[in-house]
Structure 1
Amino acid sequence: MNFRSDLPVKNPIRNPIRNPIRNLVRPFTMGHRLLAALLIGCFSLAALWLPARPAAAAGCTLTAIVWEGYTDPSFTKTFEEQTGCKVKATYAGSSDEMFAKFRAGGGRTYDIISASGDITERLYKAGLVRPIDTDKLQNYSSVFQSFQGGKWNTFDGKPYGVTFAWGPNVLVYNTKAVKSKPQSWDILFDPAYAGKISLPDNPMTIADVALWLGRSDPYDLTTADLAEVKQTLLELRPNIRKFWTTAGELANLFQSGEIVLAHAWPLTYTQLSEAGFPIDSVSPKGKLTGWTDSWMISKNSRNPEVAYQWIDYILSGAGQKGVIEVTGYSGATTLGAEAVGEARAHELFMDDLSLHSQINMWQSVKNYDQWVQLWNEIRS
Structure 2
Amino acid sequence: MRRRQFLAMTAAATASASTFMDGPAFGALAGPLRLFTVAVAGRDKDINEARKDLDLDIRVTFNVAHTETFAKMNAGVLSPQQDVLHIQQPFVRPLAQRKWIQPIDTSRLKNYGKMFEQFKSPEWAMLDGKLYALPYYWGYDSVVYNAKHMPDGGETWGRLWDDRYKGRLSLRDDALSSIQPVALFLGYNPNRLTKAQLEECKKFLISKKQHFRQLWGTYAEAVNLLRSEEVWALWGWLPMVASLRKEGMDIRYGMPKERAIAWFSSYIISKDTKVVPACHAFLDWVLDEKFAMAMTRDYGYRMTTTVHVKNLTPAEIKEMQLDDIGGLVSKLFIQELPENLNDWVQAWSEFKSA
Query: If the length of structure 2 is used for normalisation, what is the TM-score?
Result: 0.84
* 2:219 is aligned with 1:247: yes
Which residue in the other structure is 1:372 paired with? Answer: 345
Distance apart, 1:106 and its partner CA: 4.6
* 2:306 is aligned with 1:329: no
C-alpha separation in 1, matches of 2:29 and 2:114: 27
Which residue in the other structure is 2:38 paired with? Answer: 67
Which residue in the other structure is 1:292 paired with? Answer: 264
Map residues 174-323 of structure 1 onto 2, 5 A cutoff.
174-204=146-176, 205-215=178-188, 217-323=189-295
Please tell me whether the aligned partners of residues 169 and 211 of structure 2 are also in contact (alpha carbons under 8 angstroms).
yes
Superposed CA deviations along residues 68-127 of structure 1, whole A, max 9, x for unmatched, are 301223333221111222433233232112223445535121111121012112322332
Determine helix, strand or coil for the equivalent of 1:81: helix
Superposed CA deviations along residues 43-86 of structure 1, whole A, max 9, x for unmatched, are xxxxxxxxxx8345xxx432222233012233332211112224
Please tell me whether the aligned partners of residues 234 and 378 of structure 1 are also in contact (alpha carbons under 8 angstroms).
yes
Please tell me whether the aligned partners of residues 36 and 84 of structure 2 are also in contact (alpha carbons under 8 angstroms).
yes
Which residue in the other structure is 1:149 paired with? Answer: 121
C-alpha separation in 2, matches of 1:341 and 1:78: 25
Which residue in the other structure is 1:130 paired with? Answer: 102
Q: What is the letter of the counterpart of residue 319 of structure 2?
A: E
* 2:62 is aligned with 1:88: no
Which residue in the other structure is 1:358 paired with? Answer: 331
Identity %: 27
Tell me: CA distance 1:182–1:365, structure 2 relative to 1, closer, same or farther (3 Å).
Answer: closer
Distance apart, 1:247 and its partner CA: 1.9
Determine helix, strand or coil for the equivalent of 2:192: coil
C-alpha separation in 1, matches of 2:276 and 2:247: 38
Superposed CA deviations along residues 181-218 of structure 1, whole A, max 9, x for unmatched, are 54322222223322221112222132221111122x32
Tell me: CA distance 1:321–1:134, structure 2 relative to 1, closer, same or farther (3 Å).
Answer: same
Q: What is the letter of the counterpart of residue 316 of structure 2?
A: R
Determine helix, strand or coil for the equivalent of 2:136: strand
Distance apart, 1:343 and its partner CA: 3.1
Please tell me whether the aligned partners of residues 72 and 326 of structure 1 are also in contact (alpha carbons under 8 angstroms).
no
Distance apart, 1:244 and its partner CA: 1.9
Determine helix, strand or coil for the equivalent of 1:169: strand
C-alpha separation in 2, matches of 1:199 and 1:179: 19
Superposed CA deviations along residues 312-347 of structure 1, whole A, max 9, x for unmatched, are 111122222222223322111221333434432332
2:28 to 54, 58, 76: 54
C-alpha separation in 2, matches of 1:90 and 1:342: 37
Tell me: CA distance 1:148–1:179, structure 2 relative to 1, closer, same or farther (3 Å).
Answer: closer
Which residue in the other structure is 2:8 paired with? Answer: none
Tell me: CA distance 1:367–1:158, structure 2 relative to 1, closer, same or farther (3 Å).
Answer: same
Which residue in the other structure is 1:13 paired with? Answer: none
Q: What is the letter of the counterpart of residue 264 of structure 1?
A: G
C-alpha separation in 2, matches of 1:331 and 1:320: 6
Determine helix, strand or coil for the equivalent of 2:36: strand
Tell me: CA distance 1:257–1:350, structure 2 relative to 1, closer, same or farther (3 Å).
Answer: same
Distance apart, 1:302 and its partner CA: 3.2
C-alpha separation in 2, matches of 1:87 and 1:171: 35
C-alpha separation in 2, matches of 1:177 and 1:200: 21
C-alpha separation in 1, matches of 2:53 and 2:167: 48
C-alpha separation in 1, matches of 2:154 and 2:337: 30
Which residue in the other structure is 1:5 paired with? Answer: none
C-alpha separation in 1, matches of 2:130 and 2:271: 14
Q: Structure 1: state its 5+ residue gaps.
A: 1-52
Please tell me whether the aligned partners of residues 68 and 246 of structure 1 are also in contact (alpha carbons under 8 angstroms).
no
Q: Structure 2: state its 5+ residue gaps.
A: 1-26
Q: What is the letter of the counterpart of residue 28 of structure 2?
A: P
* 2:112 is aligned with 1:140: yes
Please tell me whether the aligned partners of residues 64 and 87 of structure 1 are also in contact (alpha carbons under 8 angstroms).
yes
Please tell me whether the aligned partners of residues 86 and 268 of structure 2 are also in contact (alpha carbons under 8 angstroms).
yes
* 2:316 is aligned with 1:344: yes
Tell me: CA distance 1:301–1:341, structure 2 relative to 1, closer, same or farther (3 Å).
Answer: farther
Which residue in the other structure is 1:78 paired with? Answer: 49
Q: What is the letter of the counterpart of residue 132 of structure 1?
A: I
Determine helix, strand or coil for the equivalent of 1:219: helix
Which residue in the other structure is 2:12 paired with? Answer: none
Tell me: CA distance 1:145–1:369, structure 2 relative to 1, closer, same or farther (3 Å).
Answer: same
Equivalenced residue count is: 324
C-alpha separation in 1, matches of 2:148 and 2:229: 11
